[in-house]
Amino acid sequence: MIELEKAKKVLSILEEKGLTLGSVESLTAGLFASTICSVPGASKVFKGSIVTYATSLKTDLLGIDKNLIDRVGVVSKEVAREMATRGREKLNVDVCVSFTGNAGPTKEEGKAPVGRVNMCVSTREINMDIEKDFLLERNAMREECVNAMLDALTQIYEK
């Protein structure tokens, strides 16, 4: 279950710091954006999301190198980082988060096992890579990814 209080806290912290937020989502298919936008006043901070569920959108829309995806797999820290950094530029935000993962039912060809998730927080100063392995059904896994990202954002900015 997504903890909406975490989203409220993240938005409050980012608003206080004058920072804007965006997301690039694959595995979560817009769930992070939907969660953030469930909070009244989210538009003061949240600017938008790009959902790149299909690999072709990662290459065509974001400009991620297909050779990178072929080499490391779409579910990788390298691709998550590219999604977040390119999303930050395209959305013109201070902070962009990304989510790519394998919710099953089968292993990514030659690469990520079912349950593997790679996420990234990209700012002008840092890129924070997050890798997790879940033993959950698909929607519970997506929700836990959102919770984990909200925790990461709080950890980075709550000081």
Over residues 30-81, the pLDDT tens digits come to 999 999 999 999 999 999 999 999 999 999 999 999 999 999 999 999 999 9
87 closest CA partner among 11, 33, 34, 38 = 33
Per-residue confidence at 159, pLDDT binned at 50, 70, 90? confident
Cα gap 59→73, rounded to integer Å: 13
83-116 pLDDT, tens digit per residue, is 999 999 999 999 999 999 999 887 766 688 999 9
Residues 6+ apart with CB under 8 A from 85: 96, 120, 122, 127
- Amino acid 110: pLDDT: 61
Cα gap 26→126, rounded to integer Å: 21
- Amino acid 105: pLDDT: 83
Confirm if 152 and 10 have CB atoms less than 8 A apart.
no
Confirm if 51 and 108 have CB atoms less than 8 A apart.
no
Q: Per the confidence metrics, is the pTM higher than 0.85?
A: yes
Confirm if 37 and 46 have CB atoms less than 8 A apart.
yes
- Amino acid 109: pLDDT: 61
Tokens of 145: 């990814």
Domains and CATH numbers, the chain: 4-157 (3.90.950.20)
Q: Which ranges of the chain would DSSP assign to H, the alpha helix?
A: 4-17, 31-36, 55-60, 66-72, 77-91, 138-157
Burial of 75: CB neighbours in 10 Å, binned 0-12, 13-18, 19+: buried
Whether cis (ω within 30° of 0) applies to the bond prior to 40 is no
Q: How far is CA 105 from the centre of its chain?
A: 21
